[in-house]
Every structure is written in C-alpha cells, then in structure tokens.
Amino acid sequence: MLGENKIREITDQVLAFSKADQTEVIVRVTESALTRFANSYIHQNVAENDTEVRVRVVYGKKIGVASSNDLSPEGLKRTVGTARAIAQLQREDPEFQSLPAPQTAPRVEAFVDQTASCTPEQRAHVVGVLCKKAKAQNVVAAGAFSTTATEIAVANSLGVFAYHPGTCADISTVMTKVTSVMTETGSGYASFTHQDARQVNAEAIANEAIDKAMRASHPVAFEPGEYTVFLEEYAVLDLLNFFGMLGFTAQAMQEDRSFLKNKIGEKVMDERVTIWDDGCAPHAIPLPFDFEGVPKQKVTFIENGIARGVVYDTPTAQREGKPSTGHSLPAPNSMGPFPMHVFMAPGDTPKSEMLKSIERGIWVTRFWYTRPVHPMKVLVTGMTRDGTFLIENGQVTQPLKNFRFTMSYLAALNQLRAISRETKLFYSDWGGASRVAPALVVDGFRFTGTTQ
C-alpha cells in the first residue's frame, strides 16, 4: 500500500504537471494474492502488485485520457503529455460542462490489516482444511481463496480529493463427488466474502459444499418445463447483476433499452421487492465515492415493487439537469454509470420454512454462463450448476442433471412466493462490485433444456 500521503504526492504532481483547463487523476493501488486449488491440491498460487495512474485532461470542451503504471516523475509527466496530445486531437464535446466540484464523501472504515497482510501460509492453511475435509469424504476440492487490499484516490484541479482504502477476502469452492477417475457424479458449491480474512470459516465452507456434493451424487435427467424453484443466494446474485447492468442506469434509460423506461412510479415487481444501491454500507465492500470523486448517494431502484430511480454519472445527469448520484466509472467509458453496490432487502421467512412450502419444485444452487437474450424483458438464458435437486413435499429428494433455463428475471420477481430472512454478501473482481442477495422461491421458472 502507498498510503494517503504518498498518493496525494502523486496526484499533486500530476495536477502540477498539467497545464489543462481542468485535470483529473485517479490512482488505483492493488495488492492482491490468490491461492487456487484443484484436484484437492494447490496448483496455482499468485501475487500481484500494481498501481495505475489515470489522467483526464480538459482543454475547453476537448478531453483526453491516458493511463500508465509508471510512477516516476518522468512517467507521470509522460502520461499527462499523452492525455494532452489526445485532447488536442479530439473533437469538442458540446455536452461537456465541467469536472465535478469538491463535495465531501464520508469516510467508511473498510480496511482490515489482517486481510492486507495475509500470508501465503495462512491462505494455504485455509485451503489445506478444505482439501483435507474433501479427501476424508472422498470428494475432490477445487476453488480459490483471494485476499486483496486496494487504495483508490480521485483528485481534480477543482479541489476534489477523495481517498478510500479497502480490503476483501473471498473464497469459493466446488466439491465434486467422483466414482472413478474424472467421472464426476455430482458437485456442490459454497462461497464466502468478508472485509476480514479472519472471518473465513474453512470448516463451514467445506461442510456446505461437501454436503451438497454428497447429495448431488447420481443425478437423474428431469423433464424441462415450468417449475417452482428455490433459488439460493448464489443464484439470486445473478438476477441483481442483470438488473444492474440492463436496467438500473441512466444511460440504459436514455437509450430506451431499460425495462424501467417510462415505468418510474409504476409497480414493476412483487410488492415485497426492494432493491437499492449503497456504496457507503459499512459491512459490505464499500466505496464511498465514484471515479469522478463524487460521493455515492443511496439510490433506490425498486421500493415495495415500485420503480423509483436509476444511477447517474455526471454526463447522464447533466443531460437531464440533475445532480450525479456518484456512480461514474473511470472516464472515458462507453457503459455509462454503473451500480456497484446492489442490495436486495431480505424477507421474513427463514430458508428452512421456504423449502417446506414447496410441494414440488427444483432447488437451484447457482447459475452459470448466463447471457441476456432480450434486454427489455430481462430475458436471460443460462445453466444451473453445482447442486440442482428435486424438491418434493417440502424436502430435497433427488439430485438432477443440470438444466438450461430461458427466463425473464423481471417475470421471476413478479412470480415470487417468498424472500428469505437470510442474506449473503458477494464480491466480483470485475470492477470491484459487491452485492447482497437473499434466497427466493419463484413460481413458474422456465427450464428449456437439460444437459447430459
């Protein structure tokens, strides 16, 4: 880690080098390590140390962006020079008004020393527990345990300076029951995410995945069709990802491709559904400001089933004469604003009772390789993976071969039977997004095929 003072030196240097009308600098420090295991042993084990400096310069209405990881004064000067050269060749952006003026983002404590300093031995110890437990049960362990420390700082020539250090420990495993070499008969999944690596409970994670793998052994093919499903939190995560990507942004609205277009104030989901973005929630993986240094507002997308709003960055907000909600990605970006911290409100039913309410249905542990087929309907296709079971009379009775589904996630949240009291935190290395999801029971979930 560089620390706030060293980072401020870098941003000050860049701002001093630049002669542009306005200048913005983003510094991202990443120190991460990941221990990967398969066939119940560690086969890849890596560490990485990088610092990216991204400079945006504004000359009139011409903008250029360049980045580098060369932190020497010459390197910083060169990056400023590249950004300037680009700006000079740019066309004017008539919509551009200004980089954001300073606002004070709250400081959110999210850095745990013990995660940042986690050693290869400590990770190997956790992985060793998983592998040992797997071997004892005659299952094969695979997965990854990562510990990451990051620092993000955004500064601009108008006086913005925002700094946030954070850590994340993330472990996931697939346990596979095998009968003979490489003839797998069933697998189970578990994952856990926390700011603090010490909270990782290797025994509990191993038990969850192994228990599922044992029960998933000898799956049978089952007729595709519409069924009531129990979607574990791992599966519900995918719903939140697609809503966020396809619908919850001002750019999707402005381009007429959001399912919330012309629906704000209307009921679009079951009245028990509430979904929002909160970059400052302390127990998730927070980032209290965006990549323009604008403090993140809490934005409610769906409140008791009613569409409420979407996230904005500066360009999309200016287009509508509104303030940014603090959801910009690093400039320039074609995606527009992005909700990085999506939460779905829990319900009041314990997961065990949700299961009991299902007479006949299908238990889905997680989805895999999901892709949008029709964005306006949030119609998505994908596979089930690592623990798919038949539910009969409130009990899991039989492991099933994996299904392909083609289902509108929007319809799913209108055909809701129950939302769990429990929720789970997830982290994606893609852009550092985090999500909090409950488990759901959904009626009429559409399975369109099955695999071998």
Residues 162-191 that bind another protein (CB under 8 A): 172-174, 176, 182-184, 187
Kindly write out the interface string for residues 337-376 of this chain, putting x where it contacts another protein by CB under 8 A and - elsewhere: -------------------------------xxxxxxxxx
Task: Choose the stretch contacting another protein; rule: CB under 8 A; options: 4-12, 151-159, 338-346, 401-409.
Answer: 401-409
- What are the backbone angles phi and psi of residue 189, rounded to the nearest 5°? -120, 145
CB closer to another protein, 350 vs 444: 444
Q: Which is nearer to another protein, 424 or 446 (CB)?
A: 446
Q: Which is nearer to another protein, 69 or 199 (CB)?
A: 69
Alpha helices, DSSP H, located in 37-152: 73-89, 113-116, 120-136
Amino acid at 355: L
Taking CB under 8 A as the criterion, the residue among 22, 114, 137, 406 binding another protein is 406
Pairing assessment for the beta strands 360-374 and 226-231 based on DSSP bridges: parallel
Long-range contacts: 70-73, Cβ < 8 Å, 24+? Answer: 71/10, 73/13
- The least CB distance from residue 187 to another protein, in Å, is 8
What track of x and - describes contact with another protein for positions 123 through 162 (by CB under 8 A)?
Answer: xxx-xx--x--------x-xxx-x----------------
Q: Which of 63, 90, 59, 57 is nearest to 76 (CA)?
A: 57
CA distance 359 to 338: 39
Residue where the block lists tokens 């495993």 = 173
451 binds another protein (CB under 8 A): yes
Distance in angstroms between the alpha carbons of the first and the last residue of the chain? 48
- Does 444 sit near another protein (CB under 8 A)? no
The CA distance from 422 to 424, in Å, is: 7
Smallest gap from Cβ 72 to another protein, in A, equals: 10
- In whole angstroms, give the CA distance from residue 314 to residue 390: 48
Residue type, 373: V
Instruction: Please tell me whether residue 19 binds another protein under the rule CB under 8 A.
Output: no
Q: List binders of another protein among 246-305 (CB under 8 A).
A: 255-257, 261-262
Q: Binding residue for another protein (CB under 8 A) from 7, 20, 27, 33?
A: 33
Nearer to another protein, 119 or 395 (CB): 119
Told to check if 26 binds another protein by CB under 8 A, we report: no
Nearer to another protein, 143 or 309 (CB): 143
Place of tokens 């020539």: 157
CA dist 402 and 139 (Å) reads 19
Give the nearest distance from C-beta 254 to another protein in angstroms.
10
d(CA 3, CA 1): 6
CB of 241 closer than 8 Å to CB of 249: no
Side-chain-side CA neighbours of residue 216 (13 Å): 29
> What is the nearest approach in angstroms of another protein to the Cβ of residue 76?
12
Cα distance between residue 141 and residue 133, in whole Å = 9
Q: Which range of residues in 13-21, 41-49, 197-205, 277-285 is near another protein by CB under 8 A?
A: 41-49
Q: Which is nearer to another protein, 181 or 321 (CB)?
A: 181
Taking the CA atoms of residue 263, residue 267, residue 269 and residue 272 in that order, the dihedral angle to the nearest 10 degrees is 140
Q: Which two tokens stand for residue 271?
A: 């009245």
State which of positions 73-112 bind another protein (CB under 8 A).
79, 82-83, 86, 89-91, 93-95
Question: In angstroms, what is the minimal distance from the CB of 260 to another protein?
Answer: 12
- Nearer residue to another protein within complex by CB, 91 or 104: 91
One of 3, 73, 106, 120 touching another protein (CB under 8 A): 120
Q: What is the Cα gyration radius of the chain?
A: 24
Residue 210 C-beta: closest distance to another protein, Å = 14
114 touches another protein (CB under 8 A): no
Q: Are strands 275-277 and 22-38 parallel, antiparallel or unpaired?
A: unpaired
